[in-house]
C-alpha cells in the first residue's frame, strides 16, 4: 500500500525562538503589585522607603519587584544623595515600543485602592510641609543661600531675551510667576506685562517679595498666597507663566505643570529655569531643595504629559558645578 500526502516545503519552515525581550516584558507585568507600582509612578518619583509605605510592603519584597521592573527597563532609577528614587521609564523599548505605549495607556486606567491614594497624598503633604517649614525658618537667608547655587543673575538676561522675543508688544499681556522667591524678577516682568500675578505657598517668602517691590516702588502686582490649585486662580487664563528655580522645591513637580496648563490660554508660553541633575546633597539643608535637579528629558516628559509641546531650550554651566536649564513650553 502506498501512502500519499502533502509535500512539505522545508524552505518555508522557520525555527521559532521566543523573543527574550518579549518574555521578560510579559513576566514583569504579570503581577498585581508591579502593576500598582507602575500606576503609582505614572507622573511621580518615589524612593524605596516611600514605596514601602505606600504599598505596605517590606523592603525585601518591594526590592524584588523593583528589580524585575528595572531589569525589564520599565523603571528608571536616579540617585538623590544617599537615596534611590524610581520613576516610570518613558523611553520606548525598541521593537516593543508599541506594546509598551499601549500597556502604559492601559495601566493608567487602573484604579488604585483608596488606602494607597491616601498614603500617596500623605507623603506629598509631608514633602510640602518640609518645604514650607524650611522657608518659614530660613526665609531671611534664602537669597544668600541661593547665590551659592544659581543666582538669578546667572540666567536673567537669557530669560529676558526669550521673553522679549515672544512678547514684543509691551504692557498688553498677563503673566503669572510661580514661586517669586524674594521678588527679584518681578520688576522685569512688570516692564513687559500689564498684569502681573505672583503665587507662593510660603507667607514669609510672599512677604519678602512684597517688601522687595515696595522698596522699589513697583506697583501693579497681585500677590496670591497659595499653590497652583488655589481658588483665587480658578478663573485665570494667563498668556505667560514663569517658574524660576521652583520645581526642585516642590513635592510633586508634575502636578504643578498639570495645574499650570489649565491656567493658560491657547498658545500660552511657560518658561522654566531649573537646576540640572547634580549630587550636591548639601543644598537640601542650605536651600530646602527636595530634588537634586532634573535632566532635560525629565522636564520635557513632565511638560508633555501635562499637555505642553516643547519650545526653546538652553543650558548654562556655572563655575560652582551647577547647570541651569532654561526651557520653554507651549500650550497648543
Alpha-carbon Rg for the chain, nearest whole angstrom, is 24
Residues β-bridged to residue 294: 276
Give residue-wise pLDDT tens across range 96-119.
888 888 898 899 998 999 999 999
pLDDT for res 9: 42
pLDDT for res 19: 54
pLDDT for res 150: 85
pLDDT for res 66: 96
Evaluate the CA torsion angle 214, 215, 217, 221 in order and state its sign. negative
Rounded Cα distance between 212 and 8, Å, is 87
pLDDT for res 10: 38
pLDDT for res 200: 96
Parts of the chain with a pLDDT under 50: 1-18
Domains of the chain: 19-112 (1.10.10.10), 137-331 (3.40.50.150)
Count CB-CB contacts under 10 A for residue 279.
Answer: 10
pLDDT for res 138: 78
Rounded Cα distance between 327 and 331, Å, is 14
pLDDT for res 13: 38
Per residue, the 3-state secondary structure of 179-196, as one string, reads: CCCCCCCHHHHHHHCCEE
**Extended beta strands in the chain, E state:** 46-47, 75-80, 83-88, 174-178, 195-200, 221-225, 238-244, 264-275, 308-317, 323-331
Amino acid at each position: 500500500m502506498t501512502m500519499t500526502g502533502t509535500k512539505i516545503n522545508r524552505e518555508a519552515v522557520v525555527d521559532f525562538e521566543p523573543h527574550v525581550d518579549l518574555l521578560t516584558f510579559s513576566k514583569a507585568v504579570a503581577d498585581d503589585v508591579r502593576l500598582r507600582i507602575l500606576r503609582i509612578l505614572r507622573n511621580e518619583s518615589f524612593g524605596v522607603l516611600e514605596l514601602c509605605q505606600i504599598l505596605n510592603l517590606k523592603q525585601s519584597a518591594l526590592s524584588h519587584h523593583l528589580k524585575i521592573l528595572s531589569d525589564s527597563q520599565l523603571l528608571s532609577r536616579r540617585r538623590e544623595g544617599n537615596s534611590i528614587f524610581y520613576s516610570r521609564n518613558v523611553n520606548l523599548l525598541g521593537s516593543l515600543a508599541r506594546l509598551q505605549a499601549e500597556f502604559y495607556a492601559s495601566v493608567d486606567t487602573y484604579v488604585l485602592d483608596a488606602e494607597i491614594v491616601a498614603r500617596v497624598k500623605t507623603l506629598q503633604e509631608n514633602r510640602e510641609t518640609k518645604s514650607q517649614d524650611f522657608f518659614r525658618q530660613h526665609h531671611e537667608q534664602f537669597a544668600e543661600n541661593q547665590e551659592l547655587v544659581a543666582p538669578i543673575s546667572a540666567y536673567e538676561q537669557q530669560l529676558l531675551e526669550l521673553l522679549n522675543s515672544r512678547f514684543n508688544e509691551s504692557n498688553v499681556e498677563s503673566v503669572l510667576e510661580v514661586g517669586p522667591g524674594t521678588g527679584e524678577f518681578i520688576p522685569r516682568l512688570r516692564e513687559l506685562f500689564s498684569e502681573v500675578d505672583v503665587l507662593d505657598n510660603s507667607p514669609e517668602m510672599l512677604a519678602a517679595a512684597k517688601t522687595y517691590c515696595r522698596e522699589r516702588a513697583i506697583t501693579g502686582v497681585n500677590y496670591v498666597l497659595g499653590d497652583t490649585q488655589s481658588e483665587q486662580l480658578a478663573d485665570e487664563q494667563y498668556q505667560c507663566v514663569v517658574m524660576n528655580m521652583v520645581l526642585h522645591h516642590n513635592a510633586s513637580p508634575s502636578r504643578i505643570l498639570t495645574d499650570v496648563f489649565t491656567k493658560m490660554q491657547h498658545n500660552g508660553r511657560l518658561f522654566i529655569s531649573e537646576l540640572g541633575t547634580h549630587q550636591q546633597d548639601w543644598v537640601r539643608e542650605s536651600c530646602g531643595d527636595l530634588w537634586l535637579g532634573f535632566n532635560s528629558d525629565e522636564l520635557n516628559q513632565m511638560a508633555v504629559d501635562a499637555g505642553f509641546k516643547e519650545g526653546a531650550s538652553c543650558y548654562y554651566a556655572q563655575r560652582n558645578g551647577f547647570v541651569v536649564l532654561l526651557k520653554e513650553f507651549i500650550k497648543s
